[in-house]
Structure formats: structure tokens, C-alpha cells
Chains A and B, each alone.
Chain A
Amino acid sequence: MIRPGKMIKQVLQSIFKKPATTRYPFFKSEPPKSFRGKLKFYPERCIGCKFCMKDCPSGAITIIKAGEKQFECEIDLAKCIYCAQCVDSCPKKALEATNEFELASLDRDKLKVTFRGKPS
């Protein structure tokens, strides 16, 4: 039946329901398990093939040689698009995507993160 104010019943019921908004940042909702957030690098597994650098769409990851069979990784969080293609390209599973997404910073230099291995 066509009548004006068709939504009125639902609308009045909403007064008694909890609002659907999550009041971030007081209440945070957890991102799902497979969320692609900040990357994590395991220096002991890296073999320096640089497939990750080749496949990165924005050139955010750099592998630097730090000694005999020792590699460091520098990730620019500002350039990274969090696609996790480097995670898939790595043959030795040295990269992993974590759940961290609150990465905003007031200083651009703080956004370049370096992962170093323990000095042997």
C-alpha cells in the first residue's frame, strides 16, 4: 500500500536500540585476522633475492646488505600501500603482515622503519 512515512515504524523502534556507531577511539573494534597492516621482517630468513623489491607497486621496501649473508630491510610506511604482494613474493617467508593499522605520525622521518638482525 503506497503511503507516506513508510519508514516510521522502523524509525521509532530505533530510539530503543543501541546506536550502530562504534565510538572510536574510546571503543576500538578489532581488525580481522587476515588484515594487511604494517609489515614485519625476519632478518634471519632473508636470502637477499630482492623479489619483494621487484614486485612492490610503490617501491616502499628496500633490502640492504649489512654483512655476510645478513640483510636489513627498510620499509617506508608512507609509500607502502599494504597490498602484501611482497609477503607472497618472498620464497623464504621472511615477511609477514601484522594487524597494526594506527600508523599515523606527525614526523615524516619516523615513518621509515628499519628491521635489523641481531649482530652476530
Chain B
Amino acid sequence: MAITLFQMLVFPGFLFLSFFGLAAEYFDRKLHARLQNRVGPPWFQPLADFIKLVSKEDVIPEDANPRMFKMMPIFALTSTVTAFFYIPLWRHAGLYSFTGDLIVVLYLLTIPTLAFFLGGWYSTSLYSKIGAVRSITQLFAYEVPLFVSILSPALLADTWSLKGMTIFYAAHPWYWIFNLLGFFVSLVALLGKLEKVPFDIAEAETEIVAGTFTEYSGRLMGLFRLGLDVEAIVGSSLLAAVFLPFGLALPAGLGFVVYLAKVLFIIALLTLARTVFARLRIDQMMELCWRYIAPMAFLQLLIVLVIKGVFLK
């Protein structure tokens, strides 16, 4: 019991996840700065930002619903941390696993978007409302490609649990090549889920001040920012577990290093996308996702079905 509590709260649970999230944010910002020929922040910057935000007073608008306003950051943070428990990190299984936990993880990862929407909506400020509505509209664009592209490797492995998938891919080492198109599609969809450029429409700084986060300040803002960082880690870990399932049989220390390398590689790809693209409008994003990305996801599904039906009989 004590060991389970330790694992949930400290390692690889809440504390480890928070610090890894902050470290990944440092990596992202430093890489972004170096790509732009700048110096970038020092290593303690995200931690200093978090401590500064937590030590300030939170201001709640008069018209807002105080209970919902305060609960939204907590929802965002806790749902992502819960999703983390089911993802295999450096062993074949996560902390817990059961059949169908892939679907549960994907649904748990939808809750932060809902929390952003409700947080912006209950702020009752003009900019927050527009940001909230944009965030939910964006959900319709990237959710389908994300689900379909992550479910394709599961179809190939004939199981709905992450543990079963990793065991399958460990048994057939080269099958992950069939899922490369899905990897690309889910990277694009993950950019949308994490609201990074070119899809940071909901938090467009130059258009609607800060979107859903306009009225948030102090501790609540600190929790939201931490939630965003943790969501980046959880999303990258999910992608690493589904599409890059190698090195899971190595001994614990080496496996940990391989896991870190995989997650940082995916975050580096996200940062590169953030650097070289401009922000799209919401209607352009819908058009892009439904005209190009979703068909690619379905193509991936088709490839998996064909391979499964024809070659693996």
C-alpha cells in the first residue's frame, strides 16, 4: 500500500511528472530560443515562474462563478496525471493496466480541453468567451484524426490495452514501421491538442489577449500552466508508447534513459513545428484537418486493416 502511494504521488507519479513537465518546458523554450538565434532562459526559469505565480493573489471577476472558476485548473491537472498512470513508460505496463485502458487514456486527455472551455466560459469576460468557444471548435478538428491514428496500431496488435500493445510490438520488432503515417498524423493532432502554433488559436496573444486564460491569475494560473506542461508530457509519452515501442525490455536504468530520450525527441519535434509555422485561422484549421489530416488517418487505418487481413493471416 505504501509503495503504491509512493509510486502514485512521487515516482513515477505526481511529483516526478510535475518536475519533468517543468524540465520539458525549459527544454522547449531553450530550443525555441536557440532556433531563433537567441540565448533563451536559464534552467530554473519554469520553476521560478511557477513559484512566482503560486505566491501571487488570485483575482476572481465579480460576475464569475467562483466555485467552477477555481475547480477548472484542478480538473485539468488531475485528469492528465490520472491518464499518466496507465501509460507504459519503461516497462511493458504502466502503474495500472486493464483491457480498454487505451480508450480511457484518450478520454482522460480530452478533459483538459473541456476544462479550458469551461474555465473560459465561467470567466464571463469577452476575450475568455471567444477563446473558450475557439478551443472547443478546435476540438472538433483534431479529435477524430488523433483517435483514429492512435487506434490503428491497437488494431494491428488486436488488443485495446496498452500493455497488450507493447507486448505485441516487443514480440514483432519491425511492425512499428507500418504505423509511421499514423505517427505523423498524431503529431499534428497533438499540436492541436496542446494548443501550440500553428494551432494555438484559442490562446492567440495578439488577437484576444490570452483567450481562456485572460482572467486567471495567481495560483489558478500557475496550476493551469502546470497542467499544460504535464499534458505535453503525457501526450508525448502516449505517442512514444504507441508508435515507438522499443527499448521496453531493457533493465530499469537504461530503460528510463531511453524513455527520456523518446519523450524529449517528440517534444523537440513539437518545438520545431512551433518555430517554423505561422498561426492559422480557425476556419483554415478546420479545412486543413478535415481535408488532409483526417483522410491520412483513415488511410493509416486502411493500411493496418489490409496488412492484418492479407499478410498476417
Contact = CB atoms under 8 A, between A and B. Distances in A.
A and B: direct contact (Cβ < 8 Å)? yes
B230 to A, nearest CB: 27
Interface string A24-60: 0000000000000000000000000000000000000
A67 interface: no
Interface string A2-25: 001111100110110101110100
B38 interface: yes
Nearest to A23: B39
Contact of B36 (A4, A8, A14, A23): A14
Contacts of A6: 276
Contact of A21 (B31, B38, B272, B275): B38
B272 A20 contact: no
B34 to A, nearest CB: 5
Size category of the A interface is 10 to 19
B272 A8 contact: yes
A5 B38 contact: no
Given A14-B34, A19-B34, A8 B39 contact: no
A11 B39 contact: no
Interface of A: 4-8, 11-12, 14-15, 17, 19-21, 23
Given A11-B35, A19-B34, A21-B39, 17 more contacts: A4-B276, A5-B276, A5-B277, A6-B276, A7-B275, A7-B276, A8-B272, A8-B276, A11-B36, A11-B272, A11-B275, A12-B35, A14-B36, A14-B37, A15-B31, A15-B34, A17-B37
